[in-house]
Structure 1
Amino acid sequence: MTSRVNVPLGNVRAVVILIVVAFHSALPYLASQPAAPYPFDAAPYRWVAFPIIDHERWFGFDLFCAFQDISLMSLMFLLAGLFTPASLERKGSLAYWSERWWRIGMPFLFAAGLLSPLAYFASYRETAANPSLTAFWQQWLALPMWPAGPAWFLWQVFLLGTLAAAMHALAPQWLAALSRQAGRFDERPFAFFVTLTALSTLAYVPLAMVFSAWDWTNLGPFGIQLSRPLHYVIYFFAGFAVGRRGCDRGILRSDGPLARYWLAFLAAALAGFCVWGGLTFLTMPDWSASPRLYRLAAALAFPPACASGMLSLLAICLRWLKARDRLLDSLSANAYRIYLVHYVFVIWLQYALLGLTLGAIGKSIIVFAGALAASWAVGAAVSALLPPRSAVPSEGAAVGQPQ
């Protein structure tokens, strides 16, 4: 297994964090949102996903956010798995797990315990009769859960990393077999797509049919989308299998067939999105009340749309982002810290712009630029205070962050 840095994959981290901030920046301006904000104290508490609702709307944001909802988080789980083997080999299971606790477990508690209520305070103020901090805190403590915001990703990555560390210590032959299977796809990206789609179908469709494609459940700060936990396991260990072979040998090498067929995967992603979107529309507005056949068709359309969307972004970055760039390097290096803090800036900027006479596109651009700049500055400031780390990629606490 090699430790050589794959420059396009570093640039993928930069692209992913840009998409994450853009995705959250656009949410108040979706044309599909209701006319009024969601009440803070009433189930099903949809303000957790849509903290601010603005009167300005643009349907293009619905398409953008729907496309990202299909594949963005799956890509992040794959990247997290991709960089795990190098770290496990270098440190061993126990040291790896200990560091994961400090780099993922503790930041999750910090983000959920402090940053999340700080961000959602703005959401509360949008509908509150008493907008004081004291009233908010009383309402917050009365909630049946403790919303963690985007930090939900961290506890799941920590759990999967713990599982990988246990397997590395107790059943290394399983991981070796997984890596050998990944080697079958080094020159066969379309076979990789088909296999990933098939495994995802087995993991996703039954849960989507039993629960729904959208519902979440929470135990305190631990949120989980009921249809996707096994789907994310598949993507994490698919990344792990590829990463264990080494990115310069596997399907994600910068001169490999995936990069050469970027246009084909982009076309597949657009086609898959259209099919998924059309079938999912048939299940609206109430998934559980729609005909079972429609739900099954929409659930079956998700895995190929997800796999093609994820692979298309990887292929584009492998093909067109081969060179190092100072800004992309900085964005990539600070991606994890940006992920941790950006939500606070996003929601408060959205709240501040509620009364501004400006179109949805203009507001979204302001939120995106302001939140990215502020969270990037915070990330860079924190980075400057930390001791230097190895440039060898590891599992990426979030969005494949190197360490």
Structure 2
Amino acid sequence: MTSQLNVPLSNLRAVVILLVVAFHSVLPYLASQPAQPFAFDATPYRWIAFPIIDRERWFGFDLFCAWQDISLMTLMFFLAGLFAPISLARKGPLAYLFERGWRIGLPFVLAVATLSPLAYYASYRLTAADPSLIAFWRHWRALPMWPSGPQWFLWQLFVLSMLAAALYGLAPRWRDRLSDLVGQLSDRSLTFFAALVGLSVLAYVPLAMAFTPWDWTYLGPFSFQLCRPLQYLLYFFVAFAIGSDGSARSLLRLDGPLARNWLAWLAAATICFCIWGGLTSLTLPDWNASPVSDRLAAALAFPVACATGVLAYLAVTLRLLRMRHRLLDSLAANAYGIYLVHYVFVLWLQYALIGTTLSAYAKVFVVFAAALALSWAASASGKTFGRTAARALVRGPATVQHKGAIADQTP
């Protein structure tokens, strides 16, 4: 990607982390949730997805979460794949894998081991006869899995990064063919869209029909939604091909068809979301008990809604978010750190507000604003500490002693 694209895509990263925090902030207040919180020890352990249940509700939050569920995570995998070729070209496959292990693998292990139980302790206390930490740990260890919360994204991203390194190092011809194919569609956004939807139908619909669009599976700390692994793989490598093609011919260039037609893509995303929502409502509350025709129609609507949603996000960004802003720059720089820690703040803030008389809107505002501020500050503090420690290691203890605090010398 050229420097021209760095600004809008960095701004999109900032928007994405705002949406992630907002998504988790509204979950207790969905009108579709039951009146009582889910029991901690009862299968199918619905509290993993909905840790806190509040009596205050608003249906608008259901619509917001449905929109994000369709396209937000797919967009995150897309953005990760987009910049993978640049990193691979600069570092080489082996150094790239080492860096991914250090930046993704290790944080996943640490976050799952510490932050996940700390966050879910708030959920346990809602229904526990004994709310003590010792009792929670005993119940936690008795679970048939180790819930990871939002960190599931990290291990799947690491697996896709390994596949990208293998493709780059072992199959350069296939990489170049994918790049050339995407390059040929750079000025034909509708053709690109049709191809993306067609491939997505093959990746998503058979799994959705076999496993439902909602079910997850767990193996220790590794969890994934049964219908979506191939969907995420598809979007990651489509973006990988775009990133390999270069920005001169890219579908994402600032004067390209996506940016020019951003209003049309936004309208299409809205219409397709409504169609998906209407068809999906026919399969509720029990997917397996609904007619096969309804299930198939809902499953076929998802790839279209997902593709228009992802492309609408990109189109609006390329057209409207071209200017740098200090807050967006800081938010983008701390997006990864915020992602790692925000869930702890979100869940405990939601837990603290259960007994208050605030409305659902007020609770969401408090949770979102406070969780964002706290996780943003934690990320920035962690980065500052990391830079200080790195300089201390490089300069040595004697240099630090004579020259004072290195944090003051951070550029």
Normalising TM by the smaller chain, what interval? over 0.9
Partner of 1:113: 113
Partner of 1:217: 217
Partner of 1:399: none
1:269-288 alignment, distance < 5 Å: 269-288=269-288
Partner of 1:97: 97
1:81/1:240 contact within 8 Å kept: yes
Secondary structure (helix, strand or coil) at the match of 1:287 reads coil
Partner of 2:33: 33
1:272-351 alignment, distance < 5 Å: 272-351=272-351
> Is 1:149–2:136 an aligned residue pair?
no
Matched residues in 2 for 1:248 and 1:158: separation? 29
- 1:194 deviation in Å? 1.2
Deviations 1:171-225 (A, max 9, x none): 1111111111110221122222111111110000000011111000000000010
Deviations 1:213-271 (A, max 9, x none): 10000000000100000011000001101111224541112222101111111111011
Name the amino acid aligned to 1:215: D
- The 4+ residue runs of structure 1 with deviation greater than 6 A are none
Aligned pair count?
389
Unaligned runs of 5+ residues in structure 1 are 390-403
1:6/1:253 contact within 8 Å kept: no
Partner of 1:234: 234
1:334/1:379 contact within 8 Å kept: yes
Unaligned runs of 5+ residues in structure 2 are 391-411
1:10/1:332 contact within 8 Å kept: yes
Could you tell which deviates more after superposition, 287-296 or 15-24? 287-296
Partner of 2:243: 243
Partner of 2:405: none
Partner of 1:398: none
Q: Which has the higher contact order (CA 8 A, sep 6+)?
A: 1
Partner of 2:195: 195
Matched residues in 1 for 2:202 and 2:356: separation? 47
Q: Normalization by structure 1: what TM-score?
A: 0.95
Name the amino acid aligned to 1:285: P
Matched residues in 2 for 1:191 and 1:24: separation? 35
Matched residues in 1 for 2:130 and 2:172: separation? 57
Matched residues in 1 for 2:243 and 2:292: separation? 39
Partner of 1:79: 79
Secondary structure (helix, strand or coil) at the match of 2:217 reads strand
Name the amino acid aligned to 1:108: F
1:248/1:254 contact within 8 Å kept: no
2:5/2:253 contact within 8 Å kept: no
Q: Give percent identity, aligned residues only.
A: 67
1:51-66 alignment, distance < 5 Å: 51-66=51-66
Matched residues in 1 for 2:282 and 2:220: separation? 33
Secondary structure (helix, strand or coil) at the match of 1:357 reads coil
Secondary structure (helix, strand or coil) at the match of 1:348 reads helix
Partner of 2:253: 253
Deviations 1:361-394 (A, max 9, x none): 11001000000000000111112233499xxxxx
Matched residues in 2 for 1:295 and 1:2: separation? 43
Name the amino acid aligned to 1:223: S
Name the amino acid aligned to 1:353: L
Matched residues in 2 for 1:180 and 1:294: separation? 38
Secondary structure (helix, strand or coil) at the match of 2:42 reads coil
Name the amino acid aligned to 1:49: A
Partner of 1:46: 46
1:125-136 alignment, distance < 5 Å: 125-136=125-136
Partner of 1:68: 68
- 1:2 deviation in Å? 5.3
Partner of 2:397: none
Matched residues in 1 for 2:20 and 2:371: separation? 11
Name the amino acid aligned to 2:182: A
- 1:3 deviation in Å? 6.9
Matched residues in 2 for 1:188 and 1:384: separation? 45
1:6/1:247 contact within 8 Å kept: no
Matched residues in 2 for 1:360 and 1:241: separation? 43
Partner of 2:361: 361
Matched residues in 2 for 1:265 and 1:4: separation? 22
Name the amino acid aligned to 1:325: H
Query: Could you say what the CA RMSD is over the residues aligned between the two structures, in angstroms?
Result: 1.3
Instruction: Decide which structure has the larger Cα Rg and report it.
Output: 2
Name the amino acid aligned to 1:293: S
Name the amino acid aligned to 2:373: A
